[in-house]
Amino acid sequence: MHTLQLHRAVVPDIGRKQEAACHNSLLPASLNIIDISFIEDAAASAATGRAVLAEQQMRSLNAYIDERMANRIRTMDLAAALGLSVSHFSRVFKQTEGVSPRIYILRRRIAAACGSMLRSDLHLTDIAYMHGFCDQSHFNRAFNSAYGISPQEWRKLNKPAVRKEQQTSSERYSETYAAELAQILEHLTA
């Protein structure tokens, strides 16, 4: 709430001429009315000259997004979760995070999908559905746009333990045999 609006709420019958004179004397009383967390956020906003979402609000949004990852998440739903209008929420969110809510949600979905790809052997289609993508093609396009490679390539590059586990016994035998052969040849040439 703007200080002038707050003063009018505290002393509603104040006249316009008296308002300027009372402005400084009412400031301490008005600060007692405002929640401390909002004072800190207002100070941060004043320092940057822009309104921003509080850390608690961002934690709440992240929890909301994570709980509904597989479902459709609309900007209207996020704004309602914080009790803000859609236009105000969209503007303040972009000032806080530097991207629109839609892009932010997409990035969180891709990051969560990366975690699932590393922790499980689920098919990419299942991972796509679990994280709110309508199909694997949509997931592939979004992922490729973010990382420049396909999810499957990313998984192969970032999950080396899977590559070892997926080797057949003959491949493991061939590697062992090649290593032993190298040792024998080294011993013979020495």
Q: What average pLDDT score do residues 157-172 get?
A: 62
Q: What are the tens digits of pLDDT across the range 129-161?
A: 999 999 999 999 999 999 999 999 999 999 875
Going from the N-terminus, what domains does the chain have, and what CATH number goes with each? 3-48 (no CATH), 55-162 (1.10.10.60)
Mean pLDDT of all residues belonging to the chain: 75
More confident residue, 19 or 158: 158
Angle at 138 between CA 115 and CA 157, to 5 degrees: 40
Q: What is the DSSP string of 48-70?
A: HTS----HHHHHHHHHHHHHTTT
Type and span of the H or E element at 186: helix 169-189
Q: What are the tens digits of pLDDT across the range 41-88?
A: 444 444 556 788 999 999 999 999 999 999 999 999 999 999 999 999
